[in-house]
Structure 1
Amino acid sequence: MIRTSKSISRWMGVASLSFVLALPAYLALVYAAVFPAAVQAQVVKGLPDFTELVELVGPSVVNIRTLEKAKANAQGGAGSDDEMQELFRKFFGIPMPNAPRQNPRPNRPQPSEEPAQPKGVGSGFVLSSDGYIMTNAHVVEGADEVLVTLTDKREFKARIVGADKRTDVAVVKIQATGLPAIKVGDVSRLKVGEWVMAIGSPFGLENSVTAGIVSAKQRDTGDYLPFIQTDVAINPGNSGGPLINMRGEVVGINSQIYSRSGGFMGISFAIPMDEAIRVSDQLRQNGHVTRGRIGVQIGDVTKEVAESIGLGSAQGAFVRGIESGSPADKAGLEPGDIITRFDGKPIEKATDLPRLVGNTKPGTRSNLVVFRRGVSKELVVTIAELEPVKTSKAVQPAAEPKSVGTAQSMGLVVADLTDVQKKELKLKGGVRIESVAEASARSGLREGDVILSIANIEITQLRDFELAMNKIDKTKPFSVLFRRSDVAQYALIRPSR
């Protein structure tokens, strides 16, 4: 059958029209196949609407101002507050909230003490209807007076119930009842990518709302807190305000930002609410926080060290030093041990240990699992109360050694420890490095270091060292556990080829 050009054009037109009509259905099939249902739902719904959340949670958020008594300076009281006033006048056309400008009076004598002056501005939220309010410890630190302003403009003088610097959590109390308490959320349900909202007083601008998503969880920036990282805009004055999920529950306290400029750069950190509640409960009961301790210095376990000693994966807390007479010392822990479990809970990284120990009541008998020279071992430790770390005695110069051994291919010359050295170092044994070169020097070992084990073989005297060096495969890297001053460390010696 022969088609004319006119019939062909007509046919192509019909075909093109059919394709155009069928295209939406085709794209819908592709969209359904490529994107999961959750993503489709978000696209259909569009961006979240925070208006109902603000109406629900807003009344529970408070503004906190702190005052301090200060002496007048030589300029009659002018200072950083004046600079901030000028900044607000230039960029906002308004005076700095709650910080009236102090004008010097040069022709009148100035008193040595002035009335309490504005110190800082922060945020907080109602923890209970009878007037307990949660904020950051750094918001109220050093304050002579704390003033709390509610959203209905009522202002109260607050009493500081307690503040914990380690977690940056504080609780203050105002004389009021029937307050709208905020609802506490379950942090374990919080997911990366989830929408969250913050309400606070950045730069004193009360009841400012910002929003973003959870960027990461369990972000380690301190010994006792795994922070929630978000991209919610947080600025000075937001500190102590709530981080709220889409169910209207507070899941964190906005506390810190990462910044090179002093302003918001897209990375904010919030204290998880489960940690904050634990601290606030103790502050309300006792006015301070009691934490457990076992008396160890710890570090991370590197992948290379884990592989070289047979641990497998890089996990646990490496015991670098032990305080004399501490619970860890009495329990039989040794420098070089790797703590892998505490009371049945795995220690994935070193910072997990102080968090778990700190949350344990002093006097509790807890189980430890340690990895020592290739074998796991269970110990029982009695938790003590956290106190300032004692200063360990420095290692004294070594006395004349009794005997000397060498490992020439490794560049090591070692000697037995004298009785005096063992007593000073609080060690049962080991060998002291007299000189170091070649592969051993490249590994980081130094003269004066005390070798405690080689390739998981315990070294108590020179004979152990010689037997270990004869036993190991010197063509492959091997681990050396050693003491430097009062700290245990691992080195990995890589023989030259």
Structure 2
Amino acid sequence: MRSYLSGLFALVLMAQVTVAKAELPDFTNLVEAASPAVVNISTRQNLPQREVASQQMPDLEGLPPMFREFFERSLPQTPRGQGGRQREAQSLGSGFIISADGYVLTNNHVVADADEIIVRLSDRSELKAKLIGADARTDVALLKVEGKNLPTVKLGKSEVLKVGAWVLAIGSPFGFDHSVTAGIVSAKGRSLPNENYVPFIQTDVAINPGNSGGPLFNLEGEVVGINSQIFTRSGGFMGLSFAIPIDVAMDVANQLKSDGKVSRGWLGVVIQEVNKDLAESFGLDKPAGALVAQVLEDGPAAKGGLQVGDVILSANGQPIIMSADLPHLVGSLKPGSKVSLDVVRGGDRKTLSLSVGSLPEDEDQVAAISEGGSVERSSNRLGVSVADLSAEQRKSLDLRGGVVIKEVQDGPAALIGLRPGDVITHLNNQSIDSSKAFADVAKSLPKDRSVSMRVLRQGRASFITFKLAE
């Protein structure tokens, strides 16, 4: 009996192994078909000349490249024309051919500031590339090499990619050409710091320096993204890799090819996440949407009637779950087009139709105005003294009302991090146009319920929440 059970267990175990083995994907055909269109990209950048007196100049030519580079960096600089050595910086990355006549996609940071770009094909032949255009905001660059009937990748749709799906990367990590790594999609629509217009695909595919600009494939052998960034504390792979969706990249490439630049939709608002407390204070069923913390003067939102305190729940019928969803969606719209926004204002749901503006190329034009000063004392219920804004302060801040904090004492204000110089424009969903209005609203604040407050600090507006205890 024992022998029979042992044999049965072995059969079950073998069946489980067979099933698990059958479920794992085989990438061999994909790699064989796609690899010829994946290229290695190297760049050269001329750096300032450096001088070393002849008697102090070591013989660097016989040294290995890594040691030669180290010694050359240590040489003092020489003004041009005084016999110094010309030094070149080199960088490596990846890319892929999207058309048989030689258009190549890669990352902007791979080719930025390059004096020469060399594309090496899978047969090890090298071609000089011309930079057609680059977009720093999405980190996409379009190159052109001279060629005919070049191998190309198949382009997929990142929009239909699902979390948990298998994906594969081909690139040149640390200069090792055509290295293949695989993993799954960990998340979609990720926002990274200073990357507001790219809904990144997060994967656990091993990506390292040199993979940048290379393709991310689905199981059908279609490119669904461009490998762009990794999150790391060590400089190497840690299981967090980010790819630019191919839908976004191709839109950028097409604009670069036709116009030489990229135009993006823009509303002219500063938004923030809606957390549980803010959702409660604004009467929302759940924390979702983009809370309008600031409306920029003469921007598309101001002209279309969007107001501070509005919570945007959807745009053109697409739900805004996280606040980062809004710039992703609006940025993909063409300037001059219309966008329909569903908003909650004062507990009521409204639909606004706005004309989309064009995102300014200069980031400084998007920044908000700076803060103002202070005068006399007001309500102390929150542990804060406030004062009316002067006419000059209101003009500089582009505000019709508001109060400025003069002093923060012990109390709720100190606990939520308010500082002297902060400007309060809204309290408990009510506009504050004077220190008297602030005092009146503060006296009637509810207890044991989340209360919202809109604060401007150094030109940036945001809503914060707090609760008053019994």
User: CA–CA distance in 2 between the matches of 1:292 and 1:177?
Assistant: 36
Cα 1:196–1:41 change in 2 (3 A) is: farther
1:148 aligns with 2:148: no
Cα 1:42–1:183 change in 2 (3 A) is: farther
Question: Paired residue for 2:205?
Answer: 232
Q: SS at 1:276's partner residue?
A: helix
User: CA–CA distance in 2 between the matches of 1:239 and 1:466?
Assistant: 56
1:52 aligns with 2:32: no
Superposition RMSD in Å? 3.5
User: CA–CA distance in 1 between the matches of 2:61 and 2:238?
Assistant: 24
Deviation at 1:125, TM superposition (A): 0.8
1:72 aligns with 2:49: yes
User: CA–CA distance in 2 between the matches of 1:451 and 1:373?
Assistant: 18
In structure 1, what residue type is equivalent to 2:37? S
Question: Paired residue for 2:372?
Answer: 396
Match of 1:384 among 357, 373, 382: 357
Q: Is the 8 A contact 1:210 1:232 kept in 2?
A: yes
Correspondence list, 1:294-305, <5 A: 294-305=267-278
User: CA–CA distance in 1 between the matches of 2:10 and 2:241?
Assistant: 42
1:322 aligns with 2:292: no
Cα 1:19–1:448 change in 2 (3 A) is: closer
Question: Paired residue for 1:427?
Answer: 399
Q: Is the 8 A contact 1:342 1:367 kept in 2?
A: yes
Deviation at 1:176, TM superposition (A): 0.7
User: CA–CA distance in 1 between the matches of 2:62 and 2:316?
Assistant: 55
Cα 1:75–1:303 change in 2 (3 A) is: farther
Match of 1:367 among 340, 347, 359: 340
Range that drifts further, 269-278 or 316-325: 316-325
1:481 aligns with 2:454: yes
1:135 aligns with 2:115: no
User: CA–CA distance in 2 between the matches of 1:110 and 1:483?
Assistant: 55
User: CA–CA distance in 2 between the matches of 1:22 and 1:354?
Assistant: 58
User: CA–CA distance in 2 between the matches of 1:209 and 1:455?
Assistant: 55
Q: Which has the larger radius of gyration?
A: 1
1:85 aligns with 2:65: yes
Cα 1:431–1:258 change in 2 (3 A) is: closer
Match of 1:491 among 449, 460, 464: 464
In structure 2, what residue type is equivalent to 1:176? G
Match of 2:322 among 319, 327, 349: 349
Deviation at 1:143, TM superposition (A): 0.9
Query: How many residues matched?
Result: 453
Q: Runs of 5+ in structure 2 lacking a partner?
A: 76-80
Cα 1:215–1:20 change in 2 (3 A) is: same
Deviation at 1:311, TM superposition (A): 2.2
Cα 1:340–1:477 change in 2 (3 A) is: closer
Q: Is the 8 A contact 1:323 1:329 kept in 2?
A: yes
Q: Runs of 5+ in structure 1 lacking a partner?
A: 1-14, 90-95
Q: Is the 8 A contact 1:146 1:157 kept in 2?
A: yes
For residues 274-296 of structure 1, the C-alpha deviation after alignment (integer angstroms, 9 at most, x for no partner) is: 11111111111112211122222
Cα 1:66–1:469 change in 2 (3 A) is: closer
Q: Is the 8 A contact 1:445 1:491 kept in 2?
A: no
Range that drifts further, 300-309 or 419-428: 419-428
Deviation at 1:126, TM superposition (A): 0.9
1:220 aligns with 2:191: yes
Range that drifts further, 226-235 or 268-277: 226-235
In structure 1, what residue type is equivalent to 2:36? P
1:339 aligns with 2:315: no
Q: SS at 1:206's partner residue?
A: coil
Deviation at 1:261, TM superposition (A): 2.1
Deviation at 1:336, TM superposition (A): 3.2
Q: Is the 8 A contact 2:38 2:215 kept in 1?
A: yes
1:203 aligns with 2:203: no
User: CA–CA distance in 2 between the matches of 1:214 and 1:392?
Assistant: 37
Question: Paired residue for 2:243?
Answer: 270
Q: Is the 8 A contact 1:342 1:368 kept in 2?
A: yes
User: CA–CA distance in 1 between the matches of 2:456 and 2:438?
Assistant: 15
Deviation at 1:166, TM superposition (A): 0.9
Cα 1:256–1:358 change in 2 (3 A) is: same
Cα 1:385–1:261 change in 2 (3 A) is: same
In structure 2, what residue type is equivalent to 1:153? R
User: CA–CA distance in 2 between the matches of 1:479 and 1:453?
Assistant: 8
Greater strand share, 1 or 2?
Answer: 2
In structure 1, what residue type is equivalent to 2:65? Q
User: CA–CA distance in 2 between the matches of 1:432 and 1:227?
Assistant: 39
Correspondence list, 1:166-177, <5 A: 166-177=137-148
Q: Is the 8 A contact 1:198 1:241 kept in 2?
A: yes
User: CA–CA distance in 2 between the matches of 1:310 and 1:349?
Assistant: 17
Give the TM-score normalised by the residue count of structure 2. Answer: 0.84
User: CA–CA distance in 2 between the matches of 1:18 and 1:474?
Assistant: 71
Cα 1:145–1:41 change in 2 (3 A) is: same
Q: SS at 1:225's partner residue?
A: strand
Range that drifts further, 170-179 or 240-249: 240-249
User: CA–CA distance in 2 between the matches of 1:22 and 1:263?
Assistant: 46
Range that drifts further, 226-235 or 482-491: 482-491
For residues 170-197 of structure 1, the C-alpha deviation after alignment (integer angstroms, 9 at most, x for no partner) is: 1111111111111012223433333322
Cα 1:67–1:297 change in 2 (3 A) is: same
Range that drifts further, 284-293 or 455-464: 455-464
Q: SS at 1:224's partner residue?
A: strand
Cα 1:396–1:420 change in 2 (3 A) is: same
Deviation at 1:412, TM superposition (A): 4.3
Q: Is the 8 A contact 1:439 1:496 kept in 2?
A: no
User: CA–CA distance in 2 between the matches of 1:430 and 1:67?
Assistant: 54
For residues 112-167 of structure 1, the C-alpha deviation after alignment (integer angstroms, 9 at most, x for no partner) is: 574x8452111111101111111111111111111112112322111111111111
Cα 1:266–1:421 change in 2 (3 A) is: closer
Query: Identical aligned pairs, as a percentage?
Result: 43
Question: Paired residue for 1:411?
Answer: 383
